[in-house]
Structure 1
Amino acid sequence: MSQSFRPVSAPDNAKADISCMQMEAVHEHITAGFFKVFSELGVTCNGHFNRRILQLNGDLFNHLSYAGVHVDYPVLVGRHCWQALADRIITESPELLFFNTFQKDGIAGWAEQFDRPVIAIVHNPGKFADSEVCMRWARSGRLTVFCLAEHVQKSLLKRVPELEGRVHVHYAYEVLPPGPDEYDADADVLNIVIPGSVNYLNRGFDGLIDTLKETGSALERPVKFSIIAGGPDRKRLEEDISKYGLEKYFELLPLDPLSGRVPHSLYLEALGSCQAIMPLLPASRIDYLKSKVTSGVLAGLGAARPMICPPEVGEAYGFEPINLPTDRPFDISKADLSPATLRDRRQRGLKIREISNKHNREVIERVLADHGLVHKDRVDATAEAEKPRRRWFR
């Protein structure tokens, strides 16, 4: 994996057009997608990520770096730390604040002190709607929201109609660093990545184990499932694999001994070398198709890899999967894994990613123009960018 040097942080007195805050150790890749567009548009940004993110996940921005974007990891424990960050942002004198995420009273209330407009990612419409301070922002007219899928946008607007006209979709962007993105549909062993935390509640690991016990010997092509994350149930998965003699079907990437997470370098390398991705979305998590997003799908879209899942998952997120039966959602023996099908879905995925990146840039550029950070004469008529992505590929 190629790496680019970047400053660990901007100088203490550095000005920035946008000050970005991320407090939770999830979805840094999505924040990076915004950084990429900011950089392309010549908009400067200082990103402040909770030190806990660095401790748990490592430094993603050692692998993804963008001109004009500086990242640091302040300790945010105690009132004095939050005050120090506030003082830093005041010194930066930004035109806008950017938050990933923005759906709880605490961070929304903290943002009020700066008297600046906010652009923010909302992952959970229910939490946003239940937050008194977030709703105050929604009514203020000074908040622009991005969601990561159309169904999340629809759910948020249903709950918070005050945001009408100010909720946009930001589709998964290219998560891989610059460099060769090779794809081998004819590999002797198909490497299928299962992204996201190993959690039996949120992903159907138990269903996958059961179907491999039943049908693993009937697979037409050898497969290897790559587990590229830690999680609360990783030990349980290791025990199940050993208990049922399924070792030949799995590869578990090593964990960092301090954080208990798979390092970013290994995570990105796995996404960039696999033949397919399996989101492993259980039927019980219908919320991931109605009001929330799953990182398993976002990773697949960003890496432009074929995804193996039931058709309703593809319908919700706007892609053409390698279909699995709805009543057998983890039975890999039911999937068409022929080289021709893999190549077809790979090409579709590349096209989706290309159009998604174009959409993301156009919408962000228009939002920044509304706030005076991009000249309006640079912004093309972008009504097409707001069309539901599903219509582009059907």
Structure 2
Amino acid sequence: MKKAAIVQFEAVHEEVIPSIDFYLKSVGYNTGSYLNRNIYKRKGDFFRDAGFEKVNYSYVTIEKGSDWAELMETVKGDEGLELLVLNTFQRKSVVNWSLNFDIPVIGIVHNPLLFLAIPDIKNILKANKNIYLLGLAPHVASYLIANIPFMQDRVGFVDPIVWEDSSREDKIRVIDEGNTKRALSIPGSVNFKNRDYAALIEQVHLAKLRGMSSKNIGIRFLGGGKDRADLIDLIQDKGVNEFFDFSEVNEQGFVPYDIYLSDLKNSSFLLPMFKTSDIAYRTYKISSVISSAVGNSIPLLGDSWTNIVYQTSGVVYNTNLLSDKLLEISLLSEEAYLKLCNQAKETKYNWIKRSIAQLEQATSYFESKD
């Protein structure tokens, strides 16, 4: 088999690596991954805790310039390496680092705005035909092409949804006080800028006034974040404490992976809760909520705009009518819920197929240049 190296410079986005690893192996590559050691220091070992035993990875120190140089020598010293994949390919320093290799480079672009703001990036891409870009959703790839149209044949996408398969048949869970309830979760750092928590709390309040019981439904926030304390205050002020819960954080303010993954997999639904006015996650970025839902075959509870963009499985609500769906979900039968789970599994299967096809297209581009 051919050989590829995957590198993650920043201490983020490690959850994408198993998907890249899987897709590369599906198109005939052996892989090895190098990740910033600070990922492990902050949250623990994602690969171990998530069950990715077949991923070949190592944590390396990436802080000083000498660390970057040492990593370059390590990767270059990997005999027979034919492909370099750089996750989070959107900083000038990472792009410049990649130019020191004479093998094909695939850059995974998480934030096109940061990538397109790199000085002289268009000339760099024109001069280096061995660089291929992948977004993490079709709309991200489309945004890249719209802004750098000469790259149309060198842009694609892959869905970061390869997670360990697990049954969804036991997701009416005992959460507290012996009550079984639907467990709705919101992954990600608590940040008022990115999600409409105020609207969620208001809709929970409205559903409570219409008879929704905390014995049947609960909502958990799975991340730390700078606004977590303010969110707790907002929930208390509205008088809906009994519906909400928070995953435990460590001393650094992060939710460790063993806790995060357990709470995630015990979720009945995931909620993106994007603001109605927020175009970022619907035009040029993706959210880990979407990939976590699809990757774990968890139905999504999302607004109509988000559903149009991502075409996921789950329950769709109209703006300002989330309370209706919350009440409905709190009374949802097991048969109806399992039907949603089966649809979610089908979505995951189809997205994996399309991602493998996209990566085949990328590697075929390099082979056509030989």
TM-score tier after normalising by the smaller chain length: 0.7 to 0.9
Give ranges in structure 2 of 5+ residues lacking alignment.
Answer: 175-179
2:147 to 143, 146, 159: 159
Q: Per-residue deviation at 1:336?
A: 5.1
Does residue 124 of the first structure (1) align with residue 119 of the second (2)? no
Alignment of 1:323-342 (within 5 A): 323-329=316-322, 332-333=325-326, 335=328, 338-339=332-333, 340-342=335-337
Question: 8 Å contact 2:5–2:32 — kept in the other structure?
Answer: yes
Q: Equivalents in 1 of 2:357, 2:18: separation in Å?
A: 16
| Cα drift, residue 277 of structure 1 | 0.9
2:171 maps to 1:171: no
- 1:224 paired residue among 218, 233, 237: 218
Q: 1:343 aligns with which of 338, 356, 359?
A: 338
Aligned match of 1:318 in 311, 319, 328?
A: 311
The CA deviation at 1:22 is 0.9
Amino acid aligned to 1:348: Q
| Runs of at least 5 residues in structure 1 that lack an aligned partner in the other structure | 1-15, 373-394
CA contact (8 A) 1:202 1:281 kept: yes
Partner AA of 2:199 in structure 1: G
* 1:236 to 2:223 alignment: no
TM-score (norm 2): 0.87
Q: State the match for 1:286 in structure 2.
A: 279
Name the aligned partner's letter for residue 50 of structure 1.
Answer: N
Question: How big is the shift at 1:138?
Answer: 2.6
Q: Which digits, 9 at most, give the CA deviation of each residue in 1:309-335, with x for residues without a partner?
A: 211111100124412222345765465
Change in CA separation of 1:291 and 1:109 when aligned onto 2, cut-off 3 Å = same
The equivalent position to 2:193 in structure 1, one of 195, 201, 210, is 201
Q: After superposition, where does 1:360-375 map in structure 2 within 5 Å?
A: 360-371=355-366
Tell me the CA shift for residue 39 of structure 1.
3.7
Count of residue correspondences: 356
Match of 1:88 in 2: 74
- SS class of match (1:35): helix
Query: What displacement does 1:166 show?
Result: 1.9
Q: Using the alignment, how far apart are the partners of 1:205 and 1:254 within structure 2?
A: 19
Q: How does 1:369-388 map to 2 (within 5 A)?
A: 369-371=364-366
Percent of aligned pairs with the same residue? 23
TM-score, with structure 1 as normaliser: 0.82
SS in structure 2 of the partner of residue 17 of structure 1: strand
3-state DSSP of counterpart to 1:189: strand
Task: Determine if contact 2:297/2:348 at 8 Å carries over to the other structure.
Answer: yes
Q: 2:16 aligns with which of 30, 34, 41?
A: 30
2:122 alignment counterpart: 135
Determine the structure 1 residue equivalent to 2:177. none
What CA distance in whole angstroms lies between the structure 2 residues aligned with 1:145 and 1:335? 42
Query: Stretches of 4+ moved more than 6 A in 1?
Result: none
Greater strand content: 2
Q: Deviations over 1:201-260 (max 9, x none)?
A: 101112112222333242546211111111111121223333444221112111122x32
Secondary structure of the 1:65 match is: coil
* Alignment partner, residue 354 of structure 2: 359
Determine if the alignment matches structure 1 residue 191 to structure 2 residue 177.
Answer: no
Q: CA deviation at 1:305?
A: 1.3
**Two-structure CA RMSD over aligned residues (Å):** 2.6
